[in-house]
Amino acid sequence: MASSKPIPCGPCQEGKVKTKADIWCYNCDEGLCSTCSGYHKRSKGTRDHKTIDIIPSIGAIKTECDKHGQQLNLYCPSHLMPCCDECISTSHSKCTGIKTLASVVEKTKIDKSTQSLEKKINSIKHFLEKLVTNKSKNISRGEREYESIQDFIVKIRKEINSHLTHLEKKLCNEADTIWNQEKSKATDLITQIEGKQKKLKEMQDHLHTVISHTTKLQSFLGVHQIEQQVHQCQRYVDDMEKDDRAKEFDIKMKQNDEIEKILSNLGSLESLGEVMVVKTEIALNRDTSVRREAQVQSRGQSNINSMTMNIETKIKST
């Protein structure tokens, strides 16, 4: 298992000196600094030990069980994982086909496993890249849909306002026309009546003049003529009952019955619509062939988990 902490040099640590290890020895199960690793490579007893460079971002791969602290020496093909003796007795007692880790490692084709693993990594990377691309497009599409909803609301409001403005203008024009017509009729009637009043005043003045300054014959004829004129005025007054202009008028509006229904429905209208999220499955075409291949190989005890592969790929002969 990889460690993110600096690994100390084992021999230096024994000598109470703190030195960072550059190499890990699997046989000694400890780190070695550059000085100690030189002695380690030249020593007859350790020159054949398997070592690996310690990469800062990876660290050393431990060969001990994290749970029990014992050496990983067995492999469970049912769970696809290396185990220690304690793991087998406690967690894998019912598993069959337990093998030694060394035999599994020996039969494993590291290059093939590495290629398969790299193919799987690339497949996952491709899947995630495609998912990010799809979600980015989804965000852009969602923004357009969001703006479309706002545009729809504005459009509905404009259409309603436009229609109400049209109806308002139409009704105002109609009221204006009717008012001007009735006002004109009433004004014409007043003008006509004022003309009649002026004429009656003239006839009245003329009557007094005729009686006071003319002979009896002239007075008779003058009164007769004035009488005829008064008769015409009387007939005008009598006919006034039939004249529509003489009637009083009020300008009122008969409300459309549909307005009450609309206002009633408008009060019960709680929204113009409902905004919702519609989830749709997308075909991401994940490549699962690598996973199936790894499972087949594992069941045949031809592959081990990524921990063992990492151990072997990092091994160097000194």
Domains held by the chain: number: 1
Q: Please say if the pLDDT value at position 291 is more than 70.
A: no
Q: Is 182 within a domain?
A: no
**Dist. CA 171–CA 177, nearest whole Å:** 10
pTM value > 0.95: no
| Per-residue pLDDT at 11 | 93
Integer angstrom CA distances of residue 305 from 101, 110, 163, 295, 314: 11, 11, 73, 10, 15
pLDDT of residue 285: 62
Domain with 56, as residue range(s), is: 1-62
278 lies in a domain?
Answer: no
Contact 32, 42 (CB under 8 A): no
Q: Which helix H or strand E contains 307, and what residues bound it?
A: helix 306-314
**CATH code, 4:** 4.10.640
At residue 87, the pLDDT reads 93
Over residues 239-287, the pLDDT tens digits come to 888 888 888 889 898 888 888 888 888 878 777 778 888 888 877 665 5
Check pLDDT > 60 for residue 296: no
- What's residue 61's pLDDT? 66
Give a yes or no: residue 35 inside a domain.
yes
Identify the DSSP state of 313. H
Residue 12 covered by a domain: yes
Summarize the confidence of residues 198-216 as an average pLDDT: 86
- The answer to whether residue 39 sits within a structural domain is yes
% of residues, the chain, pLDDT over 90:
37
Do residues 199 and 229 lie in contact, with contact meaning Cβ atoms separated by under 8 Å?
A: yes
pLDDT at 305: 40
pLDDT at position 286: 57
Residue 303 belongs to some domain of the structure:
no
pLDDT value at position 306?
39
Give domain status of residue 52, yes or no: yes
pLDDT at 219: 83
Question: What tokens appear for 305 in the block?
Answer: 């988990």
Interhelix angle for 110-213 vs 289-299, to 10°?
150
Is 38 inside a domain boundary?
A: yes
What is the pLDDT averaged over residues 128-138?
93
